[in-house]
Amino acid sequence: MASGTRELTVELGERSYPIYIGTELIARTGEMFAERGFPVKSPILLVTDSSVVGLYAAKVEDSLTASGYSVTRAVVPSGESSKSLAMLDDLVEAALKAGLDRRSTVIALGGGVVGDLAGFVAASYMRGIRFVQIPTTILAHDSSVGGKVAVNHRLAKNIIGAFHQPEFVLYDLDTLMSLPPREVRAGLSEVIKHGLIWNKEFVAWCDENADKLIALEPDALGYALYEGCKVKSIVVSRDERENDLRAILNLGHTIGHALEAVAGYGELLHGEAIAIGMIGSARLAARFGYSETIAGETERIFRKFGLPVRIPAEFKTESIMSAMLHDKKFLEGQMVFVVPTAIGSVEIRQDVPSSWVSEIVDGLREGI
């Protein structure tokens, strides 16, 4: 691996896999396939989206072809609406037409939408084939690690899916330089989330280095993504299938997913919705008797990163509450919330009165 490349391992026994974070990596995709013994005779499906295709697909394909692989490109429209059963169907058709067999690989080149969708194609095609993640958004430091793959249903997000781990994750920082500023900020929301659940020193570092991160300064960005991926890999290694610990990664998601559903998928970016949700969770913490400063501190940091901290005025509390009932984070008749106990640590609560949640949602609305 090129010098300066950071490396982590998601420890899952025989299914352990590396995450490489660095520069000039995608031009080495073919080499990495060959080093790992991916079979040359089995065709590869490269899934990407309409915004990413013109930027990076040819570089990945050229590298694979130079190493003797045959690769077929499948392009989905950019945006959350591509995480659908209809798109899964299209991609399975593309895989069949390209002649993918049981030894073939699906590559996800893009953000979390492409990663989740292509990953679910890989998990379901012939009951599961190889899968490689090449994330191209900051947010995808989260989605490309851990093997959760899914599409949305019109009533609920990520409700049709599987756990299917990639063979490796190739995170080329060069690809992040073309991200629109709003996507940069939304992605950083999940980076900060990893600090908020696990590592208060990292939260402080993000706070101090906000300007460098927003400006995509490579050293700061590489370090932040490494630290974010590190938290994610530790948690996934201990609880791959979310029996207990992994649920902490859902900080902000109970309210956040409901906001995304109410907004109509794609209107509020995932990282933006989660940022508002994390402030909601921090306000819940105060109801449970934890320090009232957690909410103010969380909000201050998100404001510094230019993230939304209030629920858009037109979103009705009843709609948000109703969307929460369809979420996966509803267990045994109770909403499940991840609640911060301090900056850098959280607990999982299933005893949150819905009246508290609706009061907090009301209090988070714009104009209040």
Q: Is 253 a catalytic residue?
A: yes
Verify binding: residue 249, ligand GLY, rule CB under 6 A: yes
In the three-class reduction of DSSP (H, G, I as helix; E, B as strand; rest coil), residue 324 is classed as helix
| 139 contacts 183 by C-beta, under 8 angstroms | yes
Q: Which does 250 bind (CB under 5 to 8 A by kind): ligand NAD, ligand GLY, none?
A: ligand GLY
| 11 contacts 239 by C-beta, under 8 angstroms | no
Verify binding: residue 138, ligand GLY, rule CB under 6 A: no
Q: What is the DSSP string of 41-104?
A: TS-EEEEEETTTIIIIIHHHHHHHHHTT--EEEEEE-SSGGGSSHHHHHHHHHHHHHTT--TT-
Q: How many C-beta atoms lie closer than 10 Å to residue 83's C-beta? A: 27
Cα(330)–Cα(337) distance, rounded to whole angstroms? 9
Which residues in 29-58 contact ligand GLY (CB under 6 A)?
A: none
Nearer CB in complex with ligand GLY: 22/146: 146
In the three-class reduction of DSSP (H, G, I as helix; E, B as strand; rest coil), residue 166 is classed as coil
Q: Which of 73, 194, 246, 328 binds ligand GLY (CB under 6 A)?
A: 246
Q: With CB under 6 A, what is the number of residues at the site for ligand GLY?
A: 6
Nearer CB in complex with ligand GLY: 43/146: 146
Q: Is 127 a catalytic residue?
A: yes
Cα(277)–Cα(284) distance, rounded to whole angstroms? 11
Residue type, 311: I
Q: Is 318 a catalytic residue?
A: no
Q: Is 240 a catalytic residue?
A: no
Q: Which of 63, 144, 189, 250 binds ligand GLY (CB under 6 A)?
A: 250
Q: Which does 137 bind (CB under 5 to 8 A by kind): ligand NAD, ligand GLY, none?
A: ligand NAD
Q: Is 232 a catalytic residue?
A: yes
Q: Is 316 a catalytic residue?
A: no
Q: Which does 246 bind (CB under 5 to 8 A by kind): ligand NAD, ligand GLY, none?
A: ligand GLY
User: Which residue has tokens 């793959």?
Assistant: 149
Question: Which residue in 83, 157, 193, 257 is the catalytic one?
Answer: 257
**Contact residues for ligand GLY, defined by CB under 6 A:** 142, 146, 148, 246, 249-250
Q: Which residues are catalytic?
A: 127, 148, 190, 232, 242, 246, 250, 253, 257, 270
